[in-house]
């Protein structure tokens, strides 16, 4: 398997930025991983906060707790939230950009390997 495919798969399937770290581009890898992680934390905190607020409201009213109804309601109420929309966009963009960037970084390394004369070691 060539370097470009390995880098893209690491970033796409393991974690955004993993491909860049494997390709020894630490700053890029940390930037992609940080953007993805931060947006994921924002989304999880927002959804969990909404779900807990609904659970407390249901319990105070004395109703039965239906977890599926809580999740659906939390999901539906987050559609108009600008913070959730922005965090979702950053999450998706960082994931896709990380895969594409790792692929092209790996492709550059693959091309450099092919052009290097036989018997010469990489610097």
| pLDDT at residue 50 in the model | 79
pLDDT tens-place string over residues 82-106? 888 899 999 999 999 999 999 999 9
pLDDT tens-digit profile of 31-57?
A: 999 999 999 999 899 888 877 877 777
User: What confidence tens digit (pLDDT) does each residue in 70-88 have?
Assistant: 677 666 666 667 888 899 9
Mean pLDDT within 57-64: 74
Output the DSSP codes for 80-123: T-HHHHHHHHHHHHHHHHHHHHHHHHHHHHHHHHHHSPTTPPP-
Q: Rounded to 10 degrees, what is the CA torsion of 96, 102, 105, 106?
A: -130
């Amino acid at each position: 398997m060539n370097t470009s495919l390995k880098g893209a798969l690491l970033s796409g399937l393991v974690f955004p930025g993993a491909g860049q770290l494997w390709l020894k581009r630490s700053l890029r890898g940390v930037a992609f991983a940080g953007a993805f992680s931060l947006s994921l934390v924002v989304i999880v905190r927002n959804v969990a906060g909404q779900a807990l607020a609904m659970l407390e409201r249901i319990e105070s009213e004395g109703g039965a707790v239906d977890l599926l109804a809580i999740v659906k309601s939390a999901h539906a109420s987050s559609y108009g939230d600008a913070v959730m929309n922005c965090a979702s966009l950053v999450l998706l963009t960082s994931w896709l950009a990380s895969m594409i960037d790792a692929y092209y970084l790996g492709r550059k390394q693959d091309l450099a390997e092919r052009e290097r004369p036989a018997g010469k070691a990489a610097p």
